[in-house]
Chain A
Amino acid sequence: MSSPDELLRIEGIRKTFPGVVALDGVDFDLRRGEVHVLLGENGAGKSTLIKMLSGAYTPDAGRIVVDGEEVRINGAQDSERLGIATIYQEFNLVPDLTVAENVFLGRQPRRFGMIDRKRMEADAEVLLKRVGLDVPPGARVRELGVARLQMVEIAKALSLDARVLVMDEPTAVLTSEEVERLFAIVRRLREDGVGIVFITHHLEEIAALGDRVTVIRDGRSVGQVPARTPEDELVRLMVGRSIEQQYPRARPETGEALLTVEGLTREGVFHDVGFEVRAGEVVGIAGLVGAGRTEVARAVFGADPYDAGAVRVEGAPLRRHDVNAAMAAGIGLVPEDRKGQGLVLDASVEENLGLVTMRSATHAGLVDRKGQRAAAARVAGQLGVRMAGLGQHVRTLSGGNQQKVVIGKWLLADTKVLILDEPTRGIDVGAKVEIYQLVNELTAAGAAVLMISSDLPEVLGMSDRVVVMAQGRVAGELTAAEATQDTVMALAVSTRHDSGDTRRDNGTEATGGH
């Protein structure tokens, strides 16, 4: 219609779920050979929108036009036929099949009814070369790292002759070097005339890669701007207000040491780890992936055992490998894997919030569900959890709101020492700031916070002290004043002698200021 280059146009799409209007009047279009960024907070409706393109959902109202013709996409087959391929955050690969088998899954070339392995691997090889992936097509997918898995997914999309490639936060799990490599491939695809829908939370990636940006807020498209738009303006469009300060850390007076860790060791995982966290203090733990940060946090909380050392809360030693002892002493853990370890996804907001306090709300074996509901309503209001009601299943909440529920259950339990493991991973700017505010409130009330994060600016912005771990040991401790990107990085790589590891060129998994 408007342009001969137009591949795809979406007009006035509306989609509702029980109790929620997910999308209400979204417009979007995609041309040949462009990277069109979809920007929006979690829960704004980006995922719902791309699921309309992949056929997972059908719109209640509005039109989808492909090549100037209105289409209905009722399933994966329809979208495949239209040349639309989607790469989700969670990959759709079968771990125990080979790379080639995964690329051609369900469409393996056949000869006399048998799979023609030779041809399949040869075809796969060509595709793998196109995405710059140097693994043998016969390798098992299980053995590949996350970045390579993504390349396999892209190769799979290419094998379908996709003209529209939808990528849902492809950089969220990549190191900066891997991100660069991904960008190179995306640029090459763009030159080949593929239209790419790119979802990201990392604003700096927009200018680096994008051509146009469509911003979605609360289920509506609120603007279409060029990719060179300043970040402040993008944020303002995205959250509907300008964010004054990304890291609003208010530093209260620190008090007594609440959590003391001494000589904590688990053979082969971490060694002689020691630090303390005082009342009113936020201590950040920085380090590379595999430095043992999560393992230490879980050991402190009693989720996993340790071989030697001691954990004290207010001077009293904690029993080893005993979650309930840790909880009784006032420790709470917001785990790294929100969905896998933090939430019962198919239970309601109310039940998830009440999980930790359920025992104390039990009298004579009966749970005081009325009291639990009142408490859940109070804390959900306090945290501003956006939901249809306390009965909504947490699976259907956005990432930021899910995280608020995880934190909320510890707030209800009057936690004194809160361990946050990657508290803002996969969460949008607006929700991040809300979580930082929460950390401020906690410390102002005299609690101690131990925060593990791979987002270096976050560690620097929010911590009063930074403990840097490298190879399972504490490589150093920095005050907020001393801690900078450079000093933290110097410590994080300090005990690494090997030069063969080129996983990241800036030496950290932090991918910059998002």
Chain B
Amino acid sequence: MATDTLKSKPGAQGGATAGLRRLLLDNGALTALIVLVIAMSALSGDFLTTDNLLNVGVQAAVTAILAFGVTFVIVSAGIDLSVGSVAALSATVLAWSATSHGVPVVLAVVLAVATGVAAGLVNGFLIAYGKLPPFIATLAMLSVGRGLSLVVSDGSPIPFPDSVSHLGDTLGGWLPVPVLVMVVLGLVAALILGRTYIGRSMYAIGGNEEAARLSGLRVKKQKLAIYALSGLFAAAAGIVLAARLSSAQPQAADGYELDAIAAVVIGGASLAGGTGKASGTLIGALILAVLRNGLNLLSVSAFWQQVVIGVVIALAVLLDTVRRKAGASTPAAGAGSPGGRRKQAATYVLAAVVTVAVVGATSFLHGGSGSANPKVGLSLSTLNNPFFVQIRSGAQAEAKKRGVDLTVTDAQNDASQQADQLQNFTSSSYGAVIVNPVDSDAAGPAVRAADKADIPVVAVDRGVNKAKTETLVASDNVAGGELAAKTVAEKLGGSGKIVILQGQAGTSAARERAEGFAEGLKAYPGIKVLAEQPADFDRTKGLDVMSNLLQAHPDVEGVVAANDEMALGAIKALGSKAGRSVAVVGFDGTPDGLKAVKDGTLYASVAQQPSQLGRIAVDNALRALDGKKVDATVKVPVKVVTRKNVAGFAG
């Protein structure tokens, strides 16, 4: 934008090649993207297909749309951490008003967009008039937005109205609407940044706020508008995200603000403000999407993926800084200093080599043998929990025994990342797919796509709604919940005071177990529930929540936790009380949980058999692949493990 005149100086040698070289030299992110695409194509035959590239586009869409909004804020030397939450809130408001309250869809969309704008205005107001640092104001909004979306949705996903869900479909059978929305909003963002008063003000305010003010720019009002625009784009991103999943998830887009910020910075913007372009941001978002997609295709282990993504983000920005530095100290085109050019070229080569090496090494380290074995994909909701790690080991053991290439991906409890992973399995024609849904509703559209491609899908642990799966391999959560309630009630002799630690709001396991607890406790009117609080299936949170509850209710006699991790956290909080004056009951029967049962601190755990779940899921997937008949549901029994029977029990 600002350097047109310098750029348009005739180069040393005219012509298209020189132009292309200039373009690449002037744009480090674009170079990084091209290097990455070349590396991925070389490493995976499935990468460079039209289908897969459209996939990449779809997967970049939400991040890109969020990032366009964040670009405005970053160019004006601010930061917006709330976009992920605001996206989720807007989508939730849309679904809540349209689906739950019968508001006309058009009005609901307007309402959702207004929600995003309002959140942005609040941010802008706090920053411009309340003089809060942008980091703090938007951090507050991050929490408020997420909380409100949980409040509005009551913690459960709400089905998205069908008419809006078409935003997640394809146009003419091949062009995904999210890609179209991304491109259109990208053009809008470019227009705003390049041509409008507010856009030009962003550069002035970001470059020197005081100079802008003294030149008559109404800086405070502009800031309001800038954050409102960011909220508007966040709302759009939230709607596209929910449309893809046909479901508004209160926990959607968690952590996306960081992806968005990364995309903006990779795209060449400076966090100090004053620079940045919409095209750069788009490239940044594409880099992230290409990486995730490519690493999935290459069967890079879920854990290594995060390492690689971090390394590539750092490399991409490093490349750009080095380029700028070289640009600043090399003389004008024509004068020619071969040393500088050579150094620059060396940097690019180095970056390319490192990228290829990192991606290649991780893929060869963990990739399959590339033989004619059937390929099966397993998408787990998370690997941050021993239960799912055990599902994985069971599945891997079975796959090895049966000679199957098993690719395991980790959705990190993010429904849309899971949709991406399932899409990647589908587009690279896996033989069968096993899915452990983050959310039963949200997995629907992606599983339907697999169905369409005639790929058998097996659900494990949680079902998939509104899509055909060959079978559901699961323990019965409701029954397990009832068992847990019964166990603690019996232990207390039918009367006593207990607290319940619930799982992560919005997940089906948390809902079903809570349902089971409630159902089971009905039979014991003498049991008084003092408090019921979510601790997100997390041990640390279990510890914190229990410590807090103990302050209010020191007389508690029993604890029911929706998984062992939280139970173990509660035991930490209870200290010596655990197992003596307080009976703690967990759920899952993880190795740590069983050890605690053995030690007597955990009274009982309702044990699932996760490695069995994994084993049976792979078995059923292979049967389906061979065209054999499978049962609609396979129930893996749960059982209460106490000190008496723990010795004979192995997950």
Give the B-binding residues of A (Cβ under 8 A). Answer: 16-20, 57-58, 60, 301, 303, 323-324, 327, 333, 335, 340-348, 350-351, 355-356, 358-359, 362, 365-367, 369, 388-393, 409
Contacts and interface: CB of A to CB of B under 8 A. Distances in A.
Nearest to B191: A366
A17 B337 CA distance: 11
Q: Which of A340, A345, A365 has the most CB of B within 10 A?
A: A365
A190 to B, nearest CB: 34
A347 B332 contact: no
Contacts, number: 116
B325 interface: no
Q: Which of B330, B333, B335 has the most CB of A within 10 A?
A: B335
B451 to A, nearest CB: 46
B128 to A, nearest CB: 15
B191 to A, nearest CB: 8
24 contacts: A16-B331, A18-B6, A18-B332, A19-B332, A57-B329, A58-B329, A60-B331, A60-B337, A301-B214, A303-B213, A342-B214, A344-B204, A344-B212, A350-B2, A355-B215, A358-B200, A358-B201, A359-B216, A359-B217, A366-B196, A369-B194, A369-B195, A391-B7, A392-B6
A387 B637 CA distance: 80
B6 A388 contact: yes
Q: Which of B194, B213, B215, B327 has the most CB of A within 10 A?
A: B215
Interface in B1-55: 2-7, 9
Q: Which of A303, A341, A355 has the most CB of B within 10 A?
A: A355
A345 B273 CA distance: 12
Interface string B273-300: 0110000000000000000000000000
Nearest to B206: A344
B218 interface: yes
Contact of A388 (B5, B201, B214, B217): B5
Contacts of B327: 18
Interface string B174-215: 000000000000000000001111111101100110111111
B332 A17 contact: yes
Contacts of B2: 346-348, 350-351, 391, 393
Q: Which of B203, B211, B329 has the most CB of A within 10 A?
A: B211
A324 B214 CA distance: 9
Contacts of B208: 340-341, 343-345
- If over half of B's interface residues share one DSSP class (helix, strand or loop), that class is named, otherwise mixed; here it is helix
Given A347-B2, A367-B196, A324 B332 contact: no
Contacts of A409: 215
A367 B192 CA distance: 10
Nearest to A58: B329
Contacts of B197: 358-359, 362, 365-367
A365 B207 contact: no
Given A365-B197, A390-B5, A344 B214 contact: no
A343 B203 CA distance: 12
Contacts of B199: 367
Contacts of A344: 203-204, 207-208, 211-212, 274
Given A344-B204, A348-B3, A365-B197, 18 more contacts: A18-B6, A19-B9, A303-B213, A303-B214, A327-B216, A340-B210, A344-B212, A344-B274, A345-B208, A346-B2, A348-B2, A351-B203, A355-B211, A356-B216, A358-B201, A388-B6, A389-B6, A392-B6
Interface string B327-348: 1111111010100000000000
B9 to A, nearest CB: 7
A392 B5 contact: yes
Contacts of A346: 2, 207, 274-275
Nearest to B340: A60
A326 to B, nearest CB: 9
Given A16-B331, A391-B4, A341 B211 contact: yes
Nearest to A298: B214
A330 to B, nearest CB: 12
A347 B195 contact: no
Contacts of A20: 332
Given A19-B9, A323-B216, A351 B195 contact: no
B330 A18 contact: yes
Q: Which of A18, A57, A369 has the most CB of B within 10 A?
A: A18
Q: Which of B4, B331, B333 has the most CB of A within 10 A?
A: B331
A242 to B, nearest CB: 33
Nearest to A15: B331
Interface in B461-514: none
Given A359-B197, A367-B195, A347 B216 contact: no
B188 to A, nearest CB: 12
Interface of B: 2-7, 9, 194-201, 203-204, 207-208, 210-218, 274-275, 327-333, 335, 337
A118 B533 CA distance: 57
A57 B329 CA distance: 8
A359 B215 CA distance: 10
A323 B211 CA distance: 12
Contacts of A345: 207-208
A346 B4 CA distance: 14
A341 B6 contact: no
B426 to A, nearest CB: 43
10 nearest CB pairs, A to B: A391-B5, A344-B207, A389-B5, A16-B331, A355-B215, A348-B2, A362-B197, A18-B332, A327-B216, A344-B208
Contacts of A391: 2-7
Contacts of A366: 195-197
A58 B195 CA distance: 39
Given A362-B197, A366-B196, A16 B211 contact: no
Contacts of A348: 2-3, 5
Given A18-B6, A355-B217, A347 B198 contact: no
A288 B370 CA distance: 82
B201 A17 contact: no
B211 A324 contact: no
B331 A17 contact: yes
Contacts of B332: 16-20
A327 B218 CA distance: 12
A19 B200 contact: no
Nearest to B218: A324
B337 to A, nearest CB: 6
A321 to B, nearest CB: 12
B200 A351 contact: yes
Contacts of B194: 369
B175 to A, nearest CB: 29
B215 A356 contact: yes
A418 to B, nearest CB: 13
Contacts of B331: 16-18, 60
A324 B6 contact: no
Given A17-B331, A365-B197, A391-B5, A347 B274 contact: yes
A264 to B, nearest CB: 19
